[in-house]
Structure 1
Amino acid sequence: MRALTVFLSTLLLVTTAPAPAGAANRPAAAEPDVVYHRAGFSSGTAEGTTAADGLSFTSPAGTVSHTDALGTKTWEYARWTAPERDIGFAATELIASWTADVPPGSWMQVELRGRNTEGLTTWYSLGRWAYVEGDIMRTSVPGQSDADAAVNVDTLAAAAGKPLSAYQLRLTLYRTPGSSVTPRVRTAGVMASSVPERKKVPVSPGGAAWGVELPVPRRSQNVHSGHYPEWDGGGQAWCSPTSTTMVLGYWDRWPSAEETAWVDPSDPNPEVDHAARYTYDHAYEGAGNWPFNIAYAGRYGMDGFVTRLRSLTELEQLVKAGIPVITSQSFKKGELPGAGYGTDGHLMTVIGFTAGGDVIANDPASPSNDAVRRVYSRADFENVWLRSSSSGGVVYVIHPPGHALPATTPGLPANW
């Protein structure tokens, strides 16, 4: 499970959307400011990279020494720095996500810096990503905190009173010196947001996907309890890779039998163990790093990103378009009736809505695969997902590149 911290904005936007029946007792609440920008590699500053069908390593800009638990190695690198991008509001958090091809003998690093009223911040690392093992330790970078901002695993959080008005993204690709290995970033993007303090969130109107249920395969994390404890203690903590696995299965993109041959043959669903192993963040010591789960899905040809949604009304648009959505939430036992547990941070997959608008979710915190499908009250689910003490509406959106996303909410900054 991923512990969640949401930093609060001083810029509040009052919602005027009418609430449906059942919301009369919920107070009005401000909505989050959120925008998602997809990077365009044709602009910016290239140092040994080429923008053609993504961003590729074409020639070394230099060499660098990198030390981790695997030892000290020298790598060639190429780098691309995006132009500074205006956010449009006072943002308190930035999250980058990406998909990439990083074959053996290569890896990549993602960095961000922001602009506040005092100028540009330093660069912060938002992750060092490699799919295979043995080149580097796949990891977030702890210990990054100064007067301007701090990195919380995969999230750049602005210091109190120093919101960000703009940011820059920097991608560095590394490979073994003298080799012809060609790491390539297929997609990258940044979500900027400011989540207001709100203990209660009013239930949203909807209807676009009421009565729609997507045929997403069911996988329980708990049937893997105690498996491979070197990766976050075992399946009881694997909500994120289990949810990612379910979505990959929906798109028929599970790893092959050859790839999962290392898993104990008695394991009921080796694709779950495989996802936990290859999303594992060695510094965070967990498989719940949000962008790492997107990058893992990218290994199987998928497009994807981390963003925040403002409501279940927005989430319905994605489900209506045939896209299941992985949501992040936290709640005390009893706050989400039907769950039967409490959590400091948990991922599940929204696969549809009942005819009355309640949420149909594949919840991996279930005793068996058959028990994974749950129906949660729309009002209760929306509250524990969107409130400021939870994730503030964080989601993974994973889909094939050729599967079109629906239009975003008219009149608001695009958040996908």
Structure 2
Amino acid sequence: MTRASEPSRRALLAVAFAAAATGTAGTAAAATPARAAHGHAGSAPVDYRAWGSDADWRTGTGKGTQVLAAARPGLVIATPAGTAHYTDPHTGKTATWEYATWTSPVHRLAVPATEAIASWNAHTPAGTWLQVELTGTYSDGTATPWYVMGRWAAGDQDIKRTSVDGQKDGKSSIWTDTFSIDDAASGLRLASYRLRLTLYRTPGSGLTPTVWRLGAMGSDIPDRFTVPASTPRLAKELTVPRYSQEIHAGQYPEYDNGGEAWCSPTSSQMIIEYWGRKPTAQQLGWVNPAFTDPQVCHAARFTYDHQYGGCGNWPFNAAYAATYKDLQGVVTRLGSLTDLETLIAADIPAMTSQSFLKSELTGAGYGTSGHLMTVIGFTAAGDVIANDPASPGDSAVRRVYKRREWENIWLRTKRYNASGSVVSGTGGVCYLYFPASPSARQREALEAVGVR
């Protein structure tokens, strides 16, 4: 997303939250208590559920799909269920597509949620794309509409990947990539949900997307301006490539005005390369050869959300990471720096989303309405070692931030902006990228933070 004083489009969500919280800002009692789903001390009130195994896919209802038997089972088109016309709102082009669908069973949330974010991992060869939708039941027994959570393709030659604005029913709304209860103080929550996956292909082509993982994170993070301090328990630093978004300022302005706003894809690229993956020379052939770190330009192009008008769509970044061989990507929330220490101990770095004033994070040198960093370790004193892409050059990317400051700006859900208004914080949102076949130690760490 963006850095410095440039407002984020996700600030619309902050405005909505502030309006919904009239008279309750800073009062934790305004939020409905929720059970912690992670099952360990310090965990957040979060429920992440994914489908990805052969057994998982068979619990759903398919129309024209089948499970591709492989070491990494995937859902594919078998015999199309029908054809559909789609007019791309960003090109005006109308095309006919064959499609097939898969619908998950009902997942009853262990944490009745004020927010939900879907994420997916897939391969979409040219001539194919996919759509992810969510429907659910509110705690009052009524149903939500089917909400589009994303129309996505790895490339941009067939459709322009996009979120869908204007989706609401008077009780909830979709804000780019996030389902949100309109008035959390009312006590209304999302009690359960189903996900629907629609796979599209050029008629008669025999092509198919392959979806390896589909899931969603539901959460009910209490309103809070501050969070309890965690106790340091790990001193370790991972060796992660360092990339600056700032050296790309002005490059490819069609992707949200260039590198100044590329914190999310820049962070994503650091982690992708940490796991030993990288775009090929052929894939980078479109980038101006005079540009340093062309893979960052590549990441920006292929995470860009044409409706949001930026590269900060959280699920689109996770999906981009999973286009690389044997990588998985999920969007979830964590509960404390203890959770991050658990991951770092297992050699899994994480990308975190936070917002803050310049005065709230010593040494950053800027303020932001929304910014992604890559957490790569902890000092002996417990301070956070982060690769911060909002740095003047690659050599300046590694930063050490004070533990207490950093933990608070990441985990809080309410904050004051520069004008003194109450706006939202991200409440512990992070991206986790990890191997399709994690080690036993990595699997244990992921399970400890609620990701299976």
Q: TM-score, normalised by structure 1?
A: 0.92
Of 50, 59, 62, the match for 2:66: 50
The separation in 2 between residues aligned to 1:132 and 1:385, in whole angstroms, is 32
Of 146, 157, 172, the match for 1:134: 157
| Paired residues of 2:112 and 2:218 also in contact (CA < 8 A) | no
| Paired residues of 2:130 and 2:197 also in contact (CA < 8 A) | yes
| Paired residues of 1:32 and 1:196 also in contact (CA < 8 A) | no
The separation in 1 between residues aligned to 2:449 and 2:351, in whole angstroms, is 21
Matched, 1:179 2:205: yes
Matched, 1:297 2:321: yes
Of 75, 79, 92, the match for 2:114: 92
Residue type matched to 1:61 in 2? Answer: A
- Which residue matches 1:168? 194
The separation in 1 between residues aligned to 2:250 and 2:267, in whole angstroms, is 18
The separation in 2 between residues aligned to 1:231 and 1:413, in whole angstroms, is 33
Of 49, 53, 60, the match for 2:80: 60
Q: How far has the Cα of 1:257 moved from its partner? A: 1.2
- Which residue matches 2:94? 72
SS across alignment from 2:237: coil
- Which residue matches 1:311? 336
| Paired residues of 2:350 and 2:433 also in contact (CA < 8 A) | yes
SS across alignment from 1:407: helix
- Which residue matches 2:429? 394
Q: How far has the Cα of 1:137 moved from its partner? A: 1.2
- Which residue matches 1:414? 450
The more displaced of 255-264 and 277-286 is 255-264
Of 322, 339, 352, the match for 2:364: 339
- Which residue matches 1:25? none
| Paired residues of 2:43 and 2:334 also in contact (CA < 8 A) | no
Q: How far has the Cα of 1:326 moved from its partner? A: 0.2
The separation in 2 between residues aligned to 1:109 and 1:13, in whole angstroms, is 31
The separation in 2 between residues aligned to 1:320 and 1:54, in whole angstroms, is 30
The separation in 1 between residues aligned to 2:173 and 2:429, in whole angstroms, is 19
1:278 to 1:182, Cα distance in 2 relative to 1, 3 A = same
- Which residue matches 1:273? 297
SS across alignment from 1:131: coil
Q: TM-score, normalised by structure 2?
A: 0.85
Question: 5+ residue gaps in structure 2?
Answer: 2-7, 22-29, 37-41, 415-424
Q: How far has the Cα of 1:211 moved from its partner? A: 2.1
The separation in 2 between residues aligned to 1:159 and 1:413, in whole angstroms, is 27
| Paired residues of 1:103 and 1:183 also in contact (CA < 8 A) | yes
- Which residue matches 2:249? 225
1:8-27 alignment runs, 5 A limit: 10-12=31-33
Q: What is the CA deviation profile of residues 271-299 of structure 1, one whole-angstrom value per residue up to 9, with x for unaligned ones? A: 00000001000000000100000111111
- Which residue matches 2:26? none
Of 380, 389, 403, the match for 1:364: 389
Q: How far has the Cα of 1:14 moved from its partner? A: 9.8
1:409 to 1:258, Cα distance in 2 relative to 1, 3 A = closer
- Which residue matches 1:125? 148
Q: How far has the Cα of 1:243 moved from its partner? A: 0.1
Of 370, 373, 388, the match for 1:348: 373
Residue type matched to 2:58 in 1? Answer: S
Q: What is the CA deviation profile of residues 295-330 of structure 1, one whole-angstrom value per residue up to 9, with x for unaligned ones? A: 111111211100000000011111111111000000
| Paired residues of 2:43 and 2:339 also in contact (CA < 8 A) | no
CA root-mean-square deviation:
1.9
Residue type matched to 2:280 in 1? Answer: S
Q: What is the CA deviation profile of residues 149-205 of structure 1, one whole-angstrom value per residue up to 9, with x for unaligned ones? A: 100000011232331110001100000011110211011111000111110112112
| Paired residues of 2:358 and 2:367 also in contact (CA < 8 A) | yes
| Paired residues of 1:100 and 1:298 also in contact (CA < 8 A) | yes
The separation in 1 between residues aligned to 2:44 and 2:221, in whole angstroms, is 4
| Paired residues of 1:294 and 1:396 also in contact (CA < 8 A) | yes
User: Sequence identity, in percent?
Assistant: 51
| Paired residues of 2:144 and 2:169 also in contact (CA < 8 A) | no
- Which residue matches 1:113? 135
Residue type matched to 2:59 in 1? Answer: S
Matched, 1:288 2:332: no
| Paired residues of 1:204 and 1:311 also in contact (CA < 8 A) | yes
Matched, 1:213 2:237: yes
SS across alignment from 1:96: strand
1:44 to 1:283, Cα distance in 2 relative to 1, 3 A = same
The separation in 2 between residues aligned to 1:181 and 1:415, in whole angstroms, is 31
Residue type matched to 1:163 in 2? Answer: R
SS across alignment from 1:90: strand
Q: How far has the Cα of 1:263 moved from its partner? A: 0.8
SS across alignment from 2:131: strand
The separation in 2 between residues aligned to 1:309 and 1:197, in whole angstroms, is 15
Q: What is the CA deviation profile of residues 15-64 of structure 1, one whole-angstrom value per residue up to 9, with x for unaligned ones? A: 9xxxxxxxxxxxxxx97410110122111110011123121111100111
SS across alignment from 1:328: strand
